[in-house]
Structure formats: C-alpha cells, structure tokens
A = this chain, B = another copy of it.
C-alpha cells in the first residue's frame, strides 16, 4: 500500500487555492477529478477523499501561521453550480474499514481546527454556498462560523447519507445540527431524511444556514460579511508571518523515522512504536521577536509539527502498531524556559498560535486509538508541555532513581502552569482535572509543587504517574505490560480507551468522537451499509440497497 503523506504546501495543492486580499482570504475548493489519493474513483462534483482533506488541513494551518493579518476566510467553491458533494462515495465504498474510520477522524479533526481558528484566533470562516452542498459538503459549512446560502431556487443544503447511503453524516453533521446550530430535533429528523435537501427560506428558518443572499449580489454580500467579521475579530496579528518550511524528516529503513526533535522507532513484531521527543538543545529565545526570528525552527513549533506528522503517519500507515510509547529526553529546565517565553507572551499572536497548536496536537494524541503509555526514564524531559503527554497516556511508568551503568540524571516530572488549564482536552477539562475528577484536593496538592522537579516517589504520592519501579523491576514490568497489551483484542482496546479517556463533562467535540463516531463505525460494519447488497456498495448501480429489516 502507498504510504500516505500528510505534508504538502500550497504550490503542490491540486484541489484548493488560497487568494489573499489583506484581512480577507479566499479558500477555494476546486477539486481535481483525477487527483484522487487512490485508484478507482474520480473526484467529481467537488467530492473529496483524504488527499483533498490533507490539503485543507494544511491550508487552515498555514493561514494561522503564515498570515497573521488574515481575520476572515471565505470558504467557497471554484466550480459552477456545485459547492461540494461531500466525501467521495466510491472511495468510501472501496475503502477498508480502518481507512474509513481514520479518514473520518482526520476530517473531523480538520473541521475542529477550522472552528478553533475562529474561536481561539479570531480567524473566522465564512462559508459561501452556491450550488449543491451535500453530506460532507454541508458538514464543511457547519464547521464555519457563518453560512451564507444563495437564494437562487436551486442551491440546497442536504445530509442525504441516511436515505441515500444507509450511513450517517460522519463528520460531525448530526451533532453540529443539534448542538451547534440547535436545529429543533424533529426538524433535524426531517432534514436528515430528505435526499434532495432544503433550500431558501426553510433552510434559514430552520437555522440550517445563517443568511440567504440573492445570486445577483452574492459575491459582494459575502465580502461585506467577511469584512464585518474581520472588523469584529480579536486577532492581533502584526508583521510578517512564519513560513512553515518543509519538515526535516528522514525515513531510515523500514523501522525508523527521524525528525529534528522527534524520533519514531517501530517494533513491528511487538506492535509497538516508540516516539521520543527531544527537549530543546539550547536556551530559549530571549524575546518574542527572537522567537519570530527563529520561525519554524523554534523548538516548540518544530516539536509540535513533527509530533503531529508522526501521529498521523502511524495512524494511517501503521495499522498494526497497537501501542505508542512516549519518551522524552533532554534538560527539563530548558523545556520550561522555552515554554515560559510562550506563556509570558501569550498576548503575541505567534506565541499564542504555537501554544494553541500544541493544544491541538495533544488533542490528536488523546484521540489516537492506540494504547498510549509514557515511560519516564533517566534523562527524560517530562516538564510542562511535555509532561502533558504523560497525562494524555492511558498509563505512565516512572523510573526510580539512577539505573546501574546509566549516568543520566534520574527521571523527574515537572509541573508548570501549562498543566493547569492551558491545554484543555476535548471534554473542556485539563488532563490533570480529568485525572483527579474524584479528588480535587489532589489537584491542589499537585499545584503546590509547581516548578519542582519531582522524583518518582513524589510523583507516585501525588498521583501523577501510574507506577514507579527501580532498575531491578523496570525492564520486566514494562515488557510484561507491552506483551500483555499486544495480546488483547485491538477492537476491545479501542472501545475501552474511547470510554476511559474522557470522563466528566461532554462537549460537542467529545460527542462527535465518542457518540457519533461510534455509531458510524458500527454502521460501517453492518451489511445494510457495506454488504454486497448494502446501500454504500450499490450506490451508482441504479439499484437500491436491500436491507435486513431487523432493528437492533
């Protein structure tokens, strides 16, 4: 199978264009029919596959880093009479279950990033819909801050998945209809049952779109609305942006990937990938201007981009790797210093963007359906934003004291202000709040040790790690855990982790990943959708799906 590469840049885009005009950018979807990621389908009517979405994710990311001046983004189609027909059905019908699920997860994360741009960075997306906007097309619109619909008698929004394909709108559609746009649930039921969709006043009255605009003045109205959003934006971008230069990434043989601050090594027989993040190799930049001078080479930004790429690579290209082991190395004090510069300057757009990017990467970790374990070993660098990785894991093992024949300093864990609310999970709580849901006093106790390099015994006492072992037991305990984990059913692990990782409150995000996705995955296994006579397989043949009528 071809390796899927998540790295791209605007000059290589086949499906999107960015047009810049001061505070306003246009992000234009113009999918190349023949540019599918795999063989066997054409991307007609602005339908998309993972390749199209990789470009979109790249564009959304670059707009935040490379264009601090952009405060509103108009998302529109480059084609006549069609906005976007959604995910390509033939691609879905032909894809393996794991690919379908991973595809939906990535597109969901991209939709969330698009929403986060407005909410966190004041870079607001305005969706300009002319022509059919169906399924994933409408879900793209739903992820924008504002939806404008051409009132031309033919432009519709639709979620035709249920009647047409016997699957669910899989990119947050159902959840955003009820929870973001708060469409009345019986109307939502009607809307999701109508193959041809809803147009005009009904679309507006039912809150499916925000405004109706006549075709004649459409472009002007959209620009005016974009200026309006830009005028109210809190985005404080000044001066030049930071170019996201190509990653320094080297595939070494079959089993290793080496980036500048991240290294991945694979043990395929064991089903384990080890991701080691290297702390900074020098002092923090002296000022936020110096940080900007470093550009994409700044340590946190570089580590974030590399870790993000590694996670996506493992998710899509290494399906049999069931366990991700997180390690770190380096000087915790340096990591804290680099982080401190960002925290002290979080009013500056670049420091802010880097922190927000780290937040998104951590969420990507939380949502990775592999068993996650942190090993805090001698010489490790679990401080502040890197310690957060340990709290994202299902378990953590910490080494006690020095190891024989190892002259690296004993493992420590250092808490910083960034462990107390700076990087909320999808459930809206910090990882420590989630961890200590039943014992808020433990959260307070931890906070009293802010900035101290905690040894294993202290970390255990404070409830910050799962187990601590000295060098006599360490190797055996870790090995036994990894072997045990590898012996469990991967599906049971996925289900268990999806439930245990997100206790406490739910948000639209957790509902999308926990409830909607789970039901969609179930349906993606059902013969009524994916069997020989199922609707997804029969799409385009002129035959309707034949259904087993039993309700479950």
Residues of chain A having any CB pair with chain B under 8 Å: 97-98, 101-102, 161-163, 165-168, 174-175, 177-179, 181-190, 192-193, 207, 271, 319-322, 369-370, 393-396, 434-439, 463, 466, 484-485, 487-501, 503-506, 511, 514-516, 518-523, 525-526, 528-529, 534-535, 544-545, 547-552
Contact = CB atoms under 8 A, between A and B. Distances in A.
Given A186-B396, A521-B552, 9 more contacts: A184-B438, A186-B435, A192-B496, A192-B500, A369-B551, A369-B552, A489-B528, A493-B551, A494-B551
A182 B443 CA distance: 14
A516 B498 CA distance: 8
B168 A495 contact: yes
A552 B490 contact: yes
Contacts of A207: 438
Contacts of A396: 186
Nearest to A159: B496
A545 B489 contact: yes
Given A489-B547, A493-B162, A499-B174, A435 B185 contact: yes
Given A168-B496, A498-B515, A549-B322, A491 B184 contact: no
Contacts of A506: 505-506, 511
In the A-B complex, the 9 residue pairs with the smallest Cβ-Cβ separation, listed nearest first, are: A182-B438, A518-B518, A166-B489, A178-B503, A506-B506, A495-B519, A319-B550, A174-B499, A522-B522
A539 to B, nearest CB: 12
A525 to B, nearest CB: 4
B98 A550 contact: yes
Contacts of A505: 506
A468 to B, nearest CB: 13
Contacts of A179: 437, 503-504
8 contacts: A163-B487, A163-B488, A175-B499, A192-B500, A370-B551, A489-B535, A490-B547, A515-B518
Contact of A320 (B496, B525, B551): B551
A439 to B, nearest CB: 7
Contacts of A320: 549-551
A328 to B, nearest CB: 18
A189 B501 CA distance: 9
Contacts of A168: 492, 495-496, 499
Contacts of A549: 271, 319-320, 322, 490
A500 B319 CA distance: 32
A83 B551 CA distance: 34
B394 A186 contact: yes
